[in-house]
Structure 1
């Protein structure tokens, strides 16, 4: 009898810092440059709006997790509350999302390493980090939790230090030797707060939403978390604070230190800004931090995809062998399947490293928003199925029901449609549509040929 049970190896400390660190990765340290280029300082407002919507998604997921914790989380909820087809599509699209995000993260990692070793080919860095992270994900879940805890501590400490240092630079006049003045006036004095108009502001959402992709991993952790009833809500409730502090405050400081229109896309904006201010030593420290963030993101991506593949296998939506779990509680074959996919990313980095990050980020945005949309729809369907008395007794409810859910759903639809209006992201929408059509064909082919696509009773 093969083992298929995940183990509770994550405690309160792990969950809190994984939650804090899950949205602090390449989307902030690297991808933010693209968003700033498109929207200018108004990108701060885009992060606030997207952050609120991400919080609503997590509250919807939290409501379902606390009501009925399941392996595979939102993939299983889509199956239970909508249809087995919805669960199949949601689960595999999340795996697709994690594959894309992971490819983006290993690409960013290679870019960061190029800051110190420009002569080394990027594909070598992507291969090295893929092997290391896969090895770590094959250990006990507690090891994953410990690693994420310390990586998150480094990221959070660095951002706090950078914000304090940024205030110091502005207050004590550092940067006057450069060709620009530092100060909060940079947020509106270089073409205004919305220099590229409403079009630029709206266009930035495709990059901004990508930055929050991955926070849904909290829902996947539920069955491996001790005292989930207390720890999961605390982790989710921390989201608004970390969005305001780690994204809005950080980017406001960066654009105050350096005019937004001079922030390039070569490497991390965090590193290039401090280099431009003549603080070479700080640039090296920050490069260590962004490398840490990339490693953390890759680690979480691999963890999330492995757990979702395990859940899909339990439902008969993936090869049954992926359901196997080692004695340490690790879905070994699911992790190894992800490793094989990441090798493709290594090959892509060999051929098209320079343009790979933003191409993948756009495609990952579609997958992220689609998964969020399915989470919200699952929550609405769950609510409508429950008797009114049971609805009121839910331990952890989404705010402003039903208006909150409806507004969040409309926002997700808006983002998906938005991708088709801009040249840089239109291809991502086309790929997303092809993906949904392809998975739909596969599902109904499996169903017609008698393959198991049903959901177990719970």
Structure 2
């Protein structure tokens, strides 16, 4: 697998580390976790722990392959190399599609977040301003993207840590108010108010919170010294899961009765508002807006690199291979921004109704990407063994971890069919794969005719 010379390795170690920490801390955690809390109650903590363990295993598999082959195509290139061209085609186009839909979601979420201050401001205006700002930033060069994402990620991580620290102080009575203790998870139906079934069902919404976590793989092609920086970034995933996801959600269910949560407001903001800490709620809402912009920034970067990689592999129009003097794939970037910009129109036509639809689509698309990474790693490790090569950075529990992850993802698809908001996405999932397979054969047939 050749190293891509069209891009520039201007992403420093600190950039990669912070992007690894902040790549998926966005709408899913800050806004979408309210649905998971409704479904499982305080036991949602276990849901995040279970899903987090699976995601950690999957990310270690991606990290092992990325250290050996640090290319911007990432898991699409690995699927193409280790499973076959068709798998690479499906994986690449699916991830590209995911970045577009996630971008649309974050643009939509930005409008919802602005409702906190300006309930009468049309969502499409917020979406348009965010789109233009991020597009201009990404057109500069990868260093500008990386530096901006570093500080955006730093802000949301700092705010989340502060929220956890303050929450612990409130629970333990280290503030002027009486200690809350564990009352909110021992009362109101106890720790398991919805039973085991609630934990299982909540896993679908919880997985959405981890969406985009694999986007660090597409940064490998533009990272300085990937053999050293990538393992450190991937290893940080376990701490990110423990502190930010499990720690953050634990504080939420400790500070406020779980049945007070809803899907229209961030559970973090609602909790602070319920406690009467209005100024903190305002500050946190600013951070949540920053988080949405951060994830949109990452999807804009990652999607343009994936589209370029597909073009380099002969699986997308050749015009998307071009980069400018600063190493930016301008055509791919502008094309993606045009498609993500359709969220502006959708928010104008269907304001307030597309958020849950986009979330359901994203969960299904992420299942395809994550499954592809797991299967590619199986094939990769077998090839390495055949060649007598020992990877310098190894994923644990191979191959049991691979089969465990695949079984878990299959279970999630089944669970999606049990939830009204996700049923259509579960039905569309195999149809989407079949459509990509059909497109692959149509493209092959067209290529044969062109040669003839």
TM-score, with length taken from structure 2: 0.95
- Displacement of 1:348: 1.4
Question: Which residue number in structure 2 is paired with residue 113 of structure 1?
Answer: 114
> What is the match of residue 195 of structure 2?
197
Post-superposition offset of 1:173: 7.6
Deviations 1:137-161 (A, max 9, x none): 1111001110011011111111111
Alignment of 1:14-413 (within 5 A): 14-172=15-173, 182-388=180-386, 390-391=388-389, 393-413=390-410
8 A contact 2:384–2:391 mirrored in 1: no
**Secondary structure of the structure 1 residue equivalent to 2:343:** helix
Unpaired runs of 5+ residues, structure 1, are 454-458
Are the counterparts in 2 of residues 446 and 452 from structure 1 also a CA contact under 8 Å?
no
Structure 1 stretches of 4+ moved >6 Å: 173-177
Q: Distance in 1 between matches of 2:55 and 2:96?
A: 19
Q: State the Cα distance separating 1:174 from its structure 2 match.
A: 6.4
Distance in 2 (CA, whole Å) between partners of 1:291 and 1:268 is: 11
- What's the CA shift for 1:452? 10
Normalised by the size of structure 1, how large is the TM-score?
0.94
RMSD: 1.9
Are 1:425 and 2:422 an aligned pair? yes
Q: State whether residues 24 and 211 of structure 2, in contact with CA within 8 Å, keep that contact through their aligned partners in structure 1.
A: yes
Contact 1:182 1:258 in 2 (8 A): no
What is the CA distance between 1:266 and its match in structure 2? Answer: 2.7
Is the contact made by 1:175 and 1:182 (CA closer than 8 Å) also made in structure 2? no
SS of residue paired to 1:355: coil
Secondary structure of 1:387's counterpart equals: helix
Q: Does the CA-based 8 Å contact 2:104-2:341 persist in structure 1? A: no
Encode CA deviations 1:199-227: one digit per residue, 9 max, x unaligned: 22111111111111111111111110001
Paired position in structure 2 for 1:456: none
Listed as ranges, the gaps of 5+ residues in structure 2 are: none
Query: Residues 153 and 294 of structure 2 are in contact (CA less than 8 Å); yes or no, is this contact kept in structure 1?
Result: yes
The answer as to whether partners of 2:104 and 2:343 remain within 8 angstroms in 1 is: yes
Q: Deviations over 1:259-299 (max 9, x none)?
A: 01102223212112111211111111111110111110100
Match of 1:443 in 2: 440
- Per-residue deviation, 1:73: 1.2
Asked if 1 retains the 8 angstrom alpha-carbon contact of 2:17 and 2:233, the reply is: yes
CA offsets per residue over residues 215-245 of structure 1, 9 Å max, x none?
1111111110001101000000010111110
CA shift, 1:389, in A, is 6.5
Q: Distance in 2 between matches of 1:174 and 1:107?
A: 37
For residue 341 of structure 2, give the secondary structure of its aligned residue in structure 1: helix
* Whole-angstrom distance in 1 between the partners of 2:21 and 2:265: 24
Counterparts of 1:389 and 1:194, CA distance in 2: 50
- Partners of 1:82 and 1:235 in 2: how far apart? 26
Q: SS of the counterpart of 2:388? A: helix
CA positional deviation for 1:196: 1.6
Shift of 1:176: 6.5
d(CA) in 2 for partners of 1:290, 1:245: 17
1-structure distance, mates of 2:377, 2:336: 28
**Deviations 1:83-114, CA, capped at 9 Å, x for gaps:** 11100000000011111211111111111111
Aligned equivalents of 1:451 and 1:186: distance in 2?
65
Cα deviation for residue 198 of structure 1 reads 2.2
CA separation in 2, counterparts of 1:283 and 1:382?
Answer: 47
